[in-house]
């Protein structure tokens, strides 16, 4: 049995199918953990969702910012961006089924000592708290009130976590951290103005995973969302967004069940498997 953590697919069904063939994935034996941004910018978003739906429990998926954007567009809460390619989902005969499945996916997952998010976690959060806060958003998205939450999800403030946050402010901070975060300051104040690699950020900002005293430093972290980040191979964190749809690759990290029990100090560097994606969009456009 093998576990595979897969980065941002972005609607590139052909790259996903080639990657699954390359790793000899067997749904009866193996499990996929997809780190969000399943859709948008690629050529066949509906095909990606149908493929993952058909895999059942063998494909565990996180929601990314593009996935949440699709849900908002589907309800008229947001207008499509000119670069969006998700119209195939919105006009599909099984559109309602695809969207229902999508909003029942996860905001964070943990398997053993591996914590998975789409973008990042705030330094004040432990792994257990991250999962609990993710569960709060999941409960809303899966409820009948999810449409009312969509307009409240947008905005960059508050940009600092407080345990006493309530209502839409609380959920917005959780969503922003889990699906949009790249940089924050030493106190955990999020900044969304920089999308480039760490060397392009102002001096007071740092990648969320390098904040001193981060309370998730005792688990291994896997994330996507940041195709422009340049991060050396290290056992504690891995970014699996290797630029699928942006002229790069679709990548997977292979874990064994032993790997999920190892602490950060014991764990090896992640083993990465990649296939080239033929799409060549500009991630900073």
Phi/psi of residue 204, nearest 5 degrees: -80, -5
The chain-wide mean pLDDT, for the chain, equals 94
> Which CATH number is associated with domain 3-276?
3.60.21.10
pLDDT at residue 22, as a whole number: 96
Q: Please report, rounded to a whole number, the percentage of residues in the chain having pLDDT higher than 70.
A: 98
pLDDT digits (tens, 9 = 90+) for 228-262: 887 888 999 999 999 999 999 999 999 988 899 99
CA 52 – CA 105 distance, rounded (Å): 11
Band the pLDDT of 1: cuts 50, 70, 90.
confident
Instruction: Name 210's Cβ contacts closer than 8 Å, sequence gap at least 6.
Output: 198
Q: Please report, rounded to a whole number, the percentage of residues in the chain having pLDDT higher than 90.
A: 86
pLDDT at residue 250, as a whole number: 97
pLDDT at residue 232, as a whole number: 80
Element (H, E) at 99: helix 95-102
Three-class DSSP category at 71? helix
pLDDT at residue 149, as a whole number: 95
- pTM greater than 0.85 (yes/no): yes
Q: Identify whether 158 is preceded by a cis peptide bond (ω within 30 of 0).
A: yes
* Adjacent-strand bridge partners of 43: none
Spell out the domain ranges in the chain. Answer: 3-276
- Rounded mean pLDDT, 197-214: 88
pLDDT over threshold 80, residue 281: no
């Amino acid at each position: 049995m093998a576990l595979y953590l897969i980065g941002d697919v972005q609607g590139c069904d052909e790259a996903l199918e080639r990657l699954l063939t390359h790793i000899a994935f067997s749904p009866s034996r193996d499990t996929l953990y997809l780190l969000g941004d399943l859709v948008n910018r690629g050529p066949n978003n509906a095909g990606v969702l149908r493929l993952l739906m058909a895999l059942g429990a063998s494909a565990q998926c996180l929601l990314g910012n593009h996935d949440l954007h699709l849900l908002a567009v589907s309800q008229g809460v947001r207008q499509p961006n000119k670069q969006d390619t998700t119209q195939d989902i919105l006009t599909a005969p099984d559109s309602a089924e695809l969207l229902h499945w999508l909003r029942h996916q996860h905001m964070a997952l943990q398997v053993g000592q591996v914590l998975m998010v789409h973008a990042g976690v705030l330094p004040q959060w432990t792994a257990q708290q991250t999962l609990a806060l993710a569960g709060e958003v999941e409960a809303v998205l899966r409820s009948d009130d999810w449409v009312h939450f969509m307009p409240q999800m947008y905005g960059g403030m508050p940009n600092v976590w407080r345990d006493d946050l309530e209502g839409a402010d609380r959920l917005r901070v959780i969503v922003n951290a889990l699906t949009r975060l790249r940089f924050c300051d030493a106190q955990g104040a999020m900044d969304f103005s920089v999308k480039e690699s760490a060397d392009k950020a102002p001096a007071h900002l740092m990648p969320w995973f390098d904040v001193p005293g981060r309370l998730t430093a005792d688990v291994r972290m896997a994330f996507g969302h940041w195709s422009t980040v340049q991060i050396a191979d290290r056992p504690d964190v891995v970014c699996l967004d290797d630029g699928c749809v942006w002229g790069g690759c679709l990548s997977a990290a292979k874990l064994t069940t032993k790997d999920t029990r190892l602490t950060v100090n014991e764990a090896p560097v992640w083993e990465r498997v990649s296939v080239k994606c033929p799409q060549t969009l500009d991630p900073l456009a």
